[in-house]
Amino acid sequence: MHFGKIVKNAAYSSGRSANEFAYMLGITESELLKLYEQKDWLSGHIKLASQALDHDFGQHFSNGFQFDFMSTDLNEHTEEINLTIRYSKGKEFLLKSWLHKMALIAKAIGLQMGK
Q: Where are the beta strands (DSSP E) in the chain?
A: none
pLDDT at 52 over 70: yes
Alpha-carbon distance values, 73 to 51, 78, 80 (Å): 11, 10, 16
What is the structure's pLDDT at 63? 53
pLDDT at 60 over 80: no
What is the structure's pLDDT at 62? 57
Kindly tell me the burial class for residue 86, based on how many C-beta atoms sit within 10 Å of its own C-beta (0-12, 13-18, 19 or more): exposed
pTM score, whole prediction? 0.53
